[in-house]
Amino acid sequence: MTVKVAPSLLSADFGNLREEVKRVEEHGADWIHFDVMDGSFVPAITVGPVVAAWLRPHTNLFMDAHLMISEPENQVELFAKAGIDLITVQTEAAVHLDRLLRKIKSTNVMAGVALNPATPATALEYVWPLLDLVLVMSVNPGVGGQAFIPEMLPKISYCAEQIKSRKLKTELQVDGGVNRETAPAIVKAGATVLVAGSAIFAAPDGMALINELKRL
């Protein structure tokens, strides 16, 4: 099985998102990772469902929205309507995680859960069967370009074991500090989808990295 690559638009040119999406698509991107920040769950504010809806007609790629926002339950319908394929919510922002995941699925969108670095994967014990994706955050969410936290490798392995032993089809996504140096160990630990922002959009040889990562 080859690993999928999901460039994070967080490090793209926000004045030219349509072209940036086309550029990564031409270079082999599998998914588009759409980072949503609200100035509450994290200090930064990025983009929301309106921008997702405007981008949607310009790419056929699978789009996952990573909601780093408080009260994510209020945005589910809007992202579904925008044409997002998978919505990932932060466990720490979900008061009623089970209900939220079921709500996402009821809109015919796939459902994912992200774990901050300090959040144990055992938090997922009773929701595994609902998960189309688990996202192991390998940096603290909020900004691009941070260093990969190596303590997350055992968490990735643990999630891979859970998915295997429970015979699930859940994707195992890793986000934060993914680059040429860190990716081999992340894939070895069991990741199936790699998110990379700065290593793709802000590095001179970033576009070539997409296919390099897929070959790992």
- Of these residues, 38, 85, 132, 175, which one is catalytic? 175
Min separation Cβ 149 and ligand DX5, Å: 11
Shorter beta-carbon distance to ligand DX5: residue 49 or 176: 176
Shorter beta-carbon distance to Zn ion: residue 170 or 175: 175
- HSE value, Cβ hemisphere, 13 Å, CA-based, for 209: 24
- Here's the x/- map for Zn ion, 61-100, by CB under 5 A: it reads as -----x----------------------------------
* Residue 32 site contact among ligand DX5, Zn ion, none (CB < 5 to 8 Å, cut-off depends on kind): none
Per the annotation, the verdict on 13 as an active-site residue is no
For residue 22, give the H/E element and its range: helix 17-26
Q: Are 87 and 76 in contact (CB under 8 A)?
A: yes
Rounded CA separation 50/101 (Å): 22
- Of these residues, 13, 30, 35, 205, which one is catalytic? 35
State both tokens at 157.
């392995």
Shorter beta-carbon distance to ligand DX5: residue 61 or 168: 61
Strand order across the beta sheet in which 31-37 lies? 4-7, 193-196, 171-175, 133-137, 110-115, 86-90, 62-68, 31-37
Residues catalogued as catalytic: 35, 175
